[in-house]
Copies of this chain bind each other. A is one copy, B any other.
């Protein structure tokens, strides 16, 4: 990373734990050796009070006031942003658009984050739909660092995707994996109901054809549901409806397995003894699959860096999300994505260039 400090606008009011964790994460990061300048956006008196409880480097942390009440998870994003255009996520996005920050990070309302970005930033040329990406744990490792996570997109920024949208998701995901996971040639696949090129919806079949011809991508072909937990490829490309269902199902499976274990644990002495004996391995597995280490997932396709941290983020997850945002800025995620999109557009078949 260069020594020029990168300015990241952090939605201080966002996330299930709000300021308690965002202020702590910002304070923590300010004392580290990373050249990152954090702009906490939200209710200034509350932020100042929250920061007062932490040791932090005041040269690295700044507060920008946003008077509007933050958007609650249950609110409709569109209505809330219209009613309170000066809420923290909207002000944070505008700081980036005005050049006062280089990336925006929020653990708040996902729809409001995407909508604020859509209203404030431009989509990159050739990108018709932005995509929300997410990481999920897999059996196989990925990239040179042996990452136990794979990337999936779109997981719900929009419903439905044309073949060209799926192609641009593939380019966007590849650029992100290259930059964030140091994975020079990430493999990618379309999620379908069979591995054969003729499987899937008409959009997927056409996307298969486009991706097979696209330059600069390591296209594996189609994968099936089985391949998601296995981690057959580094990046899974799908439409936002399918991605949303699949991602929530993975969360559900994790919850249920953990519920069953807890229930059994409470019931039986032998379970307790047995689980204590295996607990070191379980701990290892938990650490390996801990999304908090990962630091959030990007919204891709805009001309600015947008990172959506998990709603349940603690201070460490917030800190990691801000670091991911700074890394994406430093390594030119937006430029590299734009170059990738331009390259596939230049060679794409005129039949489907629409």
Name A residues whose Cβ lies closer than 8 Å to a Cβ of B.
Answer: 139, 156, 159-160, 191-193, 200-201, 224-230, 240-242, 244-253, 255-257, 259-260, 264, 268, 270-271, 273-278, 280-281, 285
Flag if A271 contacts B281 (CB, 8 Å).
yes
Q: How far is the CB of A91 from chain B (nearest CB, A)?
A: 27
Of the candidates B230, B251, B275, B277, the one whose C-beta lies within 8 Å of that of A256 is: B230
- CB-CB nearest in chain B for A245: B225
A156 contacts B193, CB within 8 Å?
A: yes
One of B159, B246, B247, B277 near A201 (C-beta < 8 A): B159
Residue contact A226 to B242, C-beta cutoff 8 Å: no
What are 29 A-B residue pairs whose CB atoms fall within 8 Å in the complex?
Answer: A139-B256, A159-B201, A192-B245, A193-B240, A193-B244, A193-B245, A200-B241, A224-B244, A224-B245, A225-B247, A225-B248, A225-B249, A225-B251, A226-B251, A228-B252, A229-B253, A229-B255, A229-B256, A230-B252, A241-B242, A249-B249, A249-B250, A264-B281, A268-B281, A270-B280, A273-B277, A274-B274, A274-B276, A274-B278
Among B225, B229, B230, contact of A244 (Cβ-Cβ < 8 Å): B225
In whole angstroms, what is the CA distance A275 to B226 when docked? 26
A317 to chain B, nearest CB (A): 20
| Distance of A280 Cα from B270 Cα, bound (Å) | 10
Flag if B260 contacts A285 (CB, 8 Å).
Answer: yes
Closest B residue, CB atoms, query A252: B226
| A207 → B minimal CB distance (Å) | 14
With A277-B270, A281-B264 as known contacts, state yes or no: A225 contacts B241, CB within 8 Å.
Answer: no
How distant is the Cα of A227 from the Cα of B256 in the complex, in angstroms?
A: 10
How many angstroms between the C-alpha atoms of A244 and B139 in the bound complex? 21
Chain B residues with CB below 8 A from A247, complex form: 225
Contacts A224-B244, A226-B249, A271-B281 given; 8 further ones with Cβ under 8 A?
A: A139-B256, A139-B260, A156-B193, A191-B245, A192-B245, A230-B252, A242-B242, A268-B281
